[in-house]
Amino acid sequence: MGPVPGTVIALDISDQGRVALGGLIGPELSQVEGRLVSVEGGEYVLQVTGVRFLRGGEQVWRGETVRIKSDYVATRYERRLSKVRSVALGALAVGVVALVATKSLRGFGQGDRDVAPSDTGQTVRIPRPLRF
């Protein structure tokens, strides 16, 4: 089973692929990354977001569509979500929502304060007497 369209994938390019794609993408091409549009007739159709080169360096693309024959691909990688990280992030989000929901709309640590109403748009604070 191949990757699903919309998946972010990276393709390591073989020597044969470097020769064939050198004029289109650039010399010394090592890897192409992007969002898979489809797999048609033994070709990956990608919206390319970036390429990496053999001697280092990267080039950012803006989603240009490129067809790459599967014969030119040495290895294919798919970006997948980590189940452990997803559960941890979900638990953290629920905790934050619960914490915020239990606090006053005035914010954390504000408590009740005696504030005199004012029509000037400024808040006037009235000091409380000290109790011993």
Does residue 25 lie within any of the structural domains?
yes
Q: State the pLDDT at residue 118.
A: 54
Question: Would you state the structure tokens that stand for residue 10, as one six-digit string?
Answer: 């990276």
Residue 19 in domain: yes
How many structural domains does the chain have?
Answer: 1
Q: Could you give the strand order of the β-sheet that contains 43-53, starting from the edge strand earlier in sequence?
A: 58-69, 43-53, 29-40, 8-13, 73-78
Specify if 28 maps to a domain.
yes
Domain span at residue 15 reads: 8-78
Residue 64 falls within a domain, yes or no?
Answer: yes
pTM score above 0.75 = no
pLDDT, one tens digit per residue, over 22-56 is 888 887 899 999 999 999 989 999 999 999 999 99
Which stretches does DSSP call E strand in 23-91? 29-40, 43-53, 58-69, 73-78
pLDDT band, residue 20 (cuts 50/70/90): very high
